[in-house]
Amino acid sequence: MGNEANCVLKTEGKKVRGKALLETSEIVFRSEALRLKIPFAEMKSVQAMNGELRIESVEGDLVFQMGPYAEKWAHKIRNPKSRMEKLGVKPGRRVTVIGKMEPEFEADLHEVSPDFACGAIAPGTEWIFLMADTAKDLAKATNIRRVMRGSAALWIVYPKGQKALTENDVLATGRKAGLKDVKVVGFSPTHTALKFVIPVDQR
């Protein structure tokens, strides 16, 4: 996907070799000696020059030597996709939301699918969002699978960093229901979203 790169990080007069990951709203750098998270919101400037991604942040200046990735990453950081673009929901598509949604997500949906349904899955729904804050919420995925048809997609949205409901729990539930996990995105600062679809040979 082009969102991971082995590179050398120059910071505070040091050079550290490791792996950088371009996440939805931050860059993560990992090495044996150093681990960093640099949120986009804390970046004062982002430039790409001679194979280097140069970032001025509130924590100091960072230079990632990553060759051809530098220009691509700089562009993505400066031009982040909207939430709906990341989720793949296009204007006019039929959407159903099951569970409690945050006001910001509701506003996003009104822009692309003003007539989205809540609760019961509307006929012809192409995108289903299951807001799973608890294991009880997550269990609804099994019944949702029974009414999914064709290329309909199920996004399971769950809290980040909670032991009571983990990514493994979400993956296991989706797979047990007969669905295939195909994508993960940062849904919000507090939630992650995993996309599931019906395997092609079962549609």
Q: Kindly report, residue by residue over 133-183, the tens digit of the pLDDT.
A: 999 999 999 999 999 999 999 999 999 888 889 999 999 999 999 999 999
Domain topology for 4-78:
PH-domain like (2.30.29)
> Any idea which residue has 């400037």 for tokens?
45
pTM exceeds 0.85, yes or no? no
Domain boundaries, given as residue ranges, for the chain: 4-78, 83-202
| Cβ atoms < 10 Å from Cβ of 94 | 17
Whether pLDDT at 113 is above 70? yes
**pLDDT tens-digit series, residues 62-99:** 999 999 999 999 999 998 888 999 899 988 889 999 99
Q: What CATH number should be reported for the domain whose range is 83-202?
A: 3.40.50.150
What is the band of 2 on the pLDDT scale with cuts at 50, 70, 90? Answer: low
8 Å CB contact between 164 and 134: yes
Q: What pLDDT, on the 0 to 100 scale, is given for residue 1? A: 43
**What amino acid is encoded at 192 in this protein?**
T
8 Å CB contact between 26 and 42: no
What is the band of 186 on the pLDDT scale with cuts at 50, 70, 90? Answer: confident
Task: Tell me whether strands 14-22 and 4-11 are parallel, antiparallel or unpaired.
Answer: antiparallel
DSSP secondary structure letter of residue 122: P
Percent of the chain with pLDDT over 90: 73
Q: Phi/psi of residue 135, each to 5°?
A: -60, -35
First to last CA, the chain: 26
> Any idea which residue has 């681990």 for tokens?
35
**pLDDT tens-digit series, residues 30-63:** 999 899 999 888 999 999 999 999 999 988 899 9
**Alpha carbons 104 and 82: distance in angstroms, whole number:** 12
DSSP secondary structure letter of residue 177: T
